[in-house]
Structure 1
Amino acid sequence: MSRIPRIVILGAGYGGIVTAIRLQKHLNYNEADVTLVNKHDYHYITTHLHMPAAGTDNPENSRVNISRLIDEFKVDFVKSTVMQIKPIEKKIILEDSTLSYDYLVVGLGGEPETFGIPGLQEHAMNIRSINSVRLIREHIEYQFAKYKGEPDRLDYLTFIVGGAGFTGIEFVGELADRIPNLCKKYDVDQKLVKIFSIEAAPNAMPGFDPELVEYATNVLTNKGVVFKLGTAIKECTAAGVELATGEFVKTTTVIWTGGIRGNHMLDQAGFATMRGRVKVDSFLRTTEYENVYVVGDCSIVMNPEGKPYPPSGQIATQQGETCAYNLIAAIRNTPPKEFKYINKGTVASLGKREAVGMVGTRKVKGNKAALLKKLVDMRYLYIIGGIPLVIRKGRF
């Protein structure tokens, strides 16, 4: 009797969790041994993290226990940190054990891309996990408390967000909504609070529809956000940031949302990477190993024009579906299918009851777009957990 093939999935982000859910749905019992490895016992909704980071929602609303999503009779869950990937030996080194595999799915998520800017890694915070947003949330409020004891320190009330892509724009929208509440709570004059959105590109939300970008920047400007576009951050220090223009902005709070790169373990494992990300083939496999698949922020998928798609939760979710299909095809010796990304619309929230989005060629903005954003979030909840999860978490 032949041995049951072993599938190991690293990371329970969008790509990894959807791969696991699809495998447990379509694999027969004892057809494969599937193991999901994640350093936390929960999956978090990355596209929702800007809200708890700013303090406009509870971090608990952004996470879902993995035990509620997987069938323990079909998927083994291992809570551990991945230390090393050894593709030649087909082994994964964890902090407390070693796993062997026949097929590997790497969905470990990305890491902040600092572009070599001095001081960013040491002095800036990132919206990347439940723990990181808790830190940002508490840090922001602490600055107001500190200002009351040192009223000459206006740098406590100055908040810099580096990067005006989707994450940066969504975060400043929520932060601008929270500021009035913090000012009231700590009896601080709101006119003293400054929120800067700094972007090296000439426009916010690079690559997005210009009309919607203009609408978004107008909404946020009216909320008090100051944009510095076409302005790169030259250096980040404990005292603030130096801009390429020579200006120095004093602040105790820098939130960096200027980009991500792939996980460093892919480089260490010897995969060919670009900014830490692996350019996968049409079946989501690495060029070096047909039994290794890469999904989510760690992968590069090219669009029809030959340019990489920007990493997103939508792409990772669709990758997870295709990856599971191809794993089953490999086990059953049936033809795999190529990954084809279908853009089902893009929406960016701008705070309470405001958003901008594109659905096909249709532009949406304002309250309609904000409603669409909620529908997009609920659709993902339905994909991973069905109606019960939508009912529990759908309020965000």
Structure 2
Amino acid sequence: MSKDVEFDVCSLDKLKLPKNPKILIIGGGYAGLMTALKLQSSLDFTQENKPQVTLINKHDYHYQTTLLHKVAVGTLSVRKARIYYRKILKANKVKFVKDKIKSLDPENHCVYGNGGRYDYDILVIALGFRADDFNIPGVAQHAFKLSTLNRAVKLSEHIENKFKDFIHTQNPLDLSFIVCGTGFTSIEFAAELGSQLDEFCEICGIDRSIPKITCIGRSNQILPVFSEKLSSKAVEKLKKMSVELITNGTVKEIKEDGVIVEKDSKLIEIKGNTVLWGAGVKGSDVIEKSSIPNKKGKIQVDFQLRALNYNNIFVVGDSAQPTTKDAIHAPTAQLSSQMGEFVGTMISELVKGHEFNKPFVFKHRGTVCSIGHTDGVGIVYGKELWGEIAAFMKNTIENRWLFSIGGLSMVFKKGQFRYRTSN
């Protein structure tokens, strides 16, 4: 949005909470989990009028979506990727419920899941994202998506089988991988796969010239959020991995054995039996089908991340569509975690009966795109980085999140380090 939306602070703070208020968080990604942890550390659960905090998620584990490309290629094990909620949430403070949310009923202050009805006095919506196929034919039927850990595992198994079975099929298209999109998810996956091709071919006895990776993007450069200089650095690194890049190309259709692309007003067909769709995301379908006004599963929020016209509903992470300039940024894990921390702090103050009129302001510390395990490009505190130092900063960012949710022990158990992979 081009203009900030103005709100009446006083009217928003007229939220009267009952004794033992029910605070419900739906979704346990970066934003939802950080909200729960902030409430866990900020509220007094020993008093008689203690809040009832519940986190609901469809899985009983959290995972870093920024590392799904590693799971998909097999360089990060599923066991290491899972972080179980009950190991980091204290049961006497935050109750965890494994359930899939089916619908929202804001008029009656409740949500519904497979396990029944959940009432709330304050609701935090953090339902994450899903792939947006933009109604392009074949995406739903023929393309893999990196939107969940389970999907990443399926892609990993698929890739492993294509290499193991090549000795029998001898079909070069089985080792032709097409990636639709040239943003972070797509480039990190292509680079991770490219960095492992030598090893895959050696293990399976395959000529290294046979596997091919092609990335297709609509922009005139890859990683368009970065400068042309950083984009060029990434291109140089990807080409050394034999990754072919097609820019200014529009995917028109995905087929079982390839992708139709329009480039320079001409249709070309790129053949391959594995297609990854990483060209866009949208919000939750639960939100999209709800009575809360939204756009593609994203709910407009005010300067304090409250849903417009609902003073007891907060929206964070990929479910939120900010309307103030201090909050409008490309969706990242860093943005989501800061949203969760802010909302957790605000709810804590409301429960304590304190006024809280501060706006949410995103503090952009940096963004790094990994190019394989020991290389990358990015910006950290305004400084452009590339090479091993960028990879180090990427690992530092991932480990910082682990530290925030589980301390040093979590970093040692689950952290990303220079040469530590699951190979």
Structure 1 length as normaliser, TM-score?
0.96
Counterpart of 2:61 in structure 1 is: 42
Q: CA deviation at 1:180?
A: 1.3
SS at match of 2:107: coil
Counterpart of 2:40 in structure 1 is: 24
SS at match of 1:213: helix
CA distance in 2, matches of 1:61, 1:121: 29
Counterpart of 2:226 in structure 1 is: 208
Counterpart of 2:332 in structure 1 is: 312
Instruction: Say which of 385, 390, 401 aligns to 1:380.
Output: 401
- Residue 14 (1) aligns with residue 33 (2): no
CA distance in 1, matches of 2:142, 2:18: 54
CA distance in 1, matches of 2:19, 2:50: 10
Q: CA deviation at 1:263?
A: 0.4
Given that residues 22 and 121 in structure 2 are in contact (C-alpha distance below 8 angstroms), is that contact kept between their aligned partners in structure 1? yes
Q: CA deviation at 1:302?
A: 4.7
Q: CA deviation at 1:2?
A: 5.3
* 73-82 vs 351-360, greater mean Cα deviation: 351-360
SS at match of 1:273: coil
Amino acid at match of 1:94: G
Q: CA deviation at 1:252?
A: 1.3
- Residue 102 (1) aligns with residue 121 (2): yes
Counterpart of 1:346 in structure 2 is: 367
Q: CA deviation at 1:309?
A: 1.4
Q: CA deviation at 1:63?
A: 1.8
Amino acid at match of 2:251: I
Counterpart of 1:158 in structure 2 is: 176
Given that residues 216 and 355 in structure 1 are in contact (C-alpha distance below 8 angstroms), is that contact kept between their aligned partners in structure 2? yes
Amino acid at match of 2:36: A
How do 1:199-348 residues align onto structure 2 when only pairs under 5 Å count? 199-244=217-262, 245-302=266-323, 304=325, 308-336=328-356, 337-348=358-369
SS at match of 1:195: strand
Q: CA deviation at 1:202?
A: 1.2
Amino acid at match of 1:326: M
- Residue 364 (1) aligns with residue 382 (2): no
Amino acid at match of 2:346: N
Identity of aligned residues (%): 32
Given that residues 85 and 91 in structure 1 are in contact (C-alpha distance below 8 angstroms), is that contact kept between their aligned partners in structure 2? yes
CA shift in 2, pair 1:56/1:292, >3 Å: same
Instruction: Say which of 79, 83, 87 aligns to 2:98.
Output: 79
SS at match of 2:165: helix
Q: CA deviation at 1:352?
A: 2.8
CA distance in 2, matches of 1:395, 1:272: 40
CA distance in 1, matches of 2:217, 2:40: 43
Amino acid at match of 2:188: E
Amino acid at match of 1:105: V
Counterpart of 2:12 in structure 1 is: none
CA distance in 2, matches of 1:179, 1:61: 23
CA distance in 1, matches of 2:324, 2:168: 53
SS at match of 2:267: coil
Please give the per-residue CA displacement for 1:209-255, whole angstroms capped at 9, x wherever unaligned: 21111001110111110001110110011121111131112211111
Given that residues 83 and 95 in structure 1 are in contact (C-alpha distance below 8 angstroms), is that contact kept between their aligned partners in structure 2? yes
Amino acid at match of 1:341: F
CA distance in 2, matches of 1:310, 1:302: 13
Structure 2 length as normaliser, TM-score?
0.90
CA distance in 2, matches of 1:57, 1:387: 20
CA distance in 1, matches of 2:374, 2:401: 20
SS at match of 1:49: helix
Structure 1 residues not aligned, in runs of 5+? none
Instruction: Say which of 65, 81, 85 aligns to 2:84.
Output: 65
* 18-27 vs 354-363, greater mean Cα deviation: 354-363
Instruction: Say which of 128, 133, 136 aligns to 2:155.
Output: 136
CA distance in 2, matches of 1:271, 1:222: 48
Given that residues 377 and 390 in structure 2 are in contact (C-alpha distance below 8 angstroms), is that contact kept between their aligned partners in structure 1? yes
Counterpart of 2:4 in structure 1 is: none
Structure 2 residues not aligned, in runs of 5+? 1-16, 418-423
Q: CA deviation at 1:274?
A: 2.3
SS at match of 1:192: coil
- Residue 170 (1) aligns with residue 188 (2): yes
CA distance in 2, matches of 1:212, 1:395: 23
Count of residues in Structure 1 that have an aligned counterpart in Structure 2: 394
Please give the per-residue CA displacement for 1:27-46, whole angstroms capped at 9, x wherever unaligned: 11152100000111111011
CA distance in 2, matches of 1:35, 1:329: 18
Given that residues 125 and 256 in structure 1 are in contact (C-alpha distance below 8 angstroms), is that contact kept between their aligned partners in structure 2? yes
* 321-330 vs 362-371, greater mean Cα deviation: 321-330
Counterpart of 2:143 in structure 1 is: 124
Q: CA deviation at 1:303?
A: 6.2
Given that residues 46 and 62 in structure 1 are in contact (C-alpha distance below 8 angstroms), is that contact kept between their aligned partners in structure 2? no
